[in-house]
């Protein structure tokens, strides 16, 4: 039998409070997770045809030009896929019109593009990229963040010599020490030609993910992507 004590020093009261607080927080988290999962579902080629923005767009974005620009309406940078257009409520959004060649083609079907990024993601995991680099800002801090690596000005300067930046990145991935950019070299991880192409496709796809404006002011130096126009 419990002796009469103030509610504030009653174990029973605190036990019940703990149970309720935990229960309510868990239910809220599960509810929000359902909503987030719906919003984070990978988009389809149809969405792109209809110019519907998805946080994680269809992998067919590899057929389009990708940019990262300040949207005055949302107050931060957003991915601009296939050129920009005005958003009815203000600001800018992707137009999904301007295409560009990716390894010589700009007509990858949804199936082909998905297969490519599937291989790319598997390679990224199999080579432990995340234990030197960060992806979407998560990982290790020994090498640069890869979130917007596709848009990095470094590749723009190397692109002409390789006939396009996708070829430059793929060449780098297959033998990084040969194209080392820093004393802190990336080791040769035995990435094959197919794997390299797939990883580049993944990097391009990842740069089209809407990351709520991370990283901020990307490429502000040396006239890279015009983040602050």
Partner 1 sequence: MQGSKLYQSQELAIKYFTVAIILFGAQLLFGLVAAIQFLYPNFLFNTLDFSIARMLHINALVVWLLYAMIGAVYWLLPDEAGIEVVGIKLANIAFYILTAAVAIVVLVYLFVQIGPGKESTIWFITEGREYIEAPRWADIGIVAVVLVFLYNVYATVMKGRHTGILVVLMADLIALAGLYLAGMFYTDNIAVDQYWWWWVVHLWVEATWEVYVAAVGGYILIKTLNANRKVVEMWLWIEVAMMFGSGILGLGHHYFWIGTPEYWWEIGALFSALEPVPLVGLFVHVLYDWGKERGKGNEIKNTPAFAWLTVETFGNFLGAGVWGFMHTLPQINLYTHGTQWPAAHGHLAFFGAYVAIMISAMYLAVQGKAGLERLRMTKAGWWAISLISVGVLLMTVSLTVAAYTQTMVERGMHGATWEGYFIAQANRWFVQGMGWRLAAGLAVIVGYGFLVYDLLTCAKKQPVEEGEKEVAAAAA
Binding to partner 1 (CB under 8 A) within 119-148 occurs at 119-132, 134-142, 144-145, 147-148
Q: Is 185 in the site for partner 1 (CB under 8 A)?
A: yes
The CB-of-163 to partner 1 minimum distance in angstroms stands at 21
Q: Are 174 and 191 in contact (CB under 8 A)?
A: yes
Q: Give, as ranges, the residues between 11 and 40 that touch partner 1 (CB under 8 A).
A: 11, 14-15, 17-18, 21-22, 25-26, 28-29, 32-33, 35-37, 39-40
The CB-of-208 to partner 1 minimum distance in angstroms stands at 10
Q: Give, as ranges, the residues between 84 and 123 that touch partner 1 (CB under 8 A).
A: 114, 117-123
Provide φ and ψ at 66, rounded to 5°. -130, 135
Burial of 141 from C-beta contacts in 10 A (0-12 / 13-18 / 19+): exposed
Burial of 173 from C-beta contacts in 10 A (0-12 / 13-18 / 19+): buried
Residue closer to partner 1 (CB basis): 167 or 205? 205
Q: Is 80 in the site for partner 1 (CB under 8 A)?
A: no
The CB-of-168 to partner 1 minimum distance in angstroms stands at 13
C-alpha pair distances (Å), 60 with each of 81, 105, 205? 11, 12, 8
Helix (H, G, I), strand (E, B) or coil at 187: coil
């Amino acid at each position: 039998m419990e002796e009469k004590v103030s509610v504030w020093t009653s174990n029973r009261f605190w036990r019940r409070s703990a149970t309720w607080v935990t229960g309510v927080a868990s239910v809220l988290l599960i509810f929000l997770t359902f909503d987030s999962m719906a919003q984070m579902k990978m988009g389809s080629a149809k969405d792109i045809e209809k110019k519907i923005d998805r946080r994680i767009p269809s992998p067919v974005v590899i057929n389009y030009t990708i940019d990262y620009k300040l949207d005055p309406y949302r107050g931060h940078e957003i991915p601009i896929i296939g050129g920009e257009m005005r958003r009815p409520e203000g600001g800018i959004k992707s137009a999904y019109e301007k295409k560009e060649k990716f390894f010589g083609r700009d007509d990858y079907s949804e199936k082909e593009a998905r297969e490519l990024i599937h291989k790319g993601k598997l390679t990224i995991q199999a080579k432990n990229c995340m234990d030197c680099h960060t992806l979407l800002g998560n990982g290790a801090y020994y090498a640069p963040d890869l979130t917007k690596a596709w848009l990095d000005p470094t590749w723009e300067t190397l692109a002409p010599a390789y006939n396009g930046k996708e070829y430059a990145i793929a060449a780098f991935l297959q033998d990084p020490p040969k194209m080392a950019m820093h004393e802190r070299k990336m080791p040769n991880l035995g990435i094959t030609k197919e794997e390299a192409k797939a990883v580049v496709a993944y990097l391009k796809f990842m740069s089209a993910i809407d990351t709520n404006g991370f990283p901020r002011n990307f490429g502000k130096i040396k006239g890279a992507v015009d983040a602050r126009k």
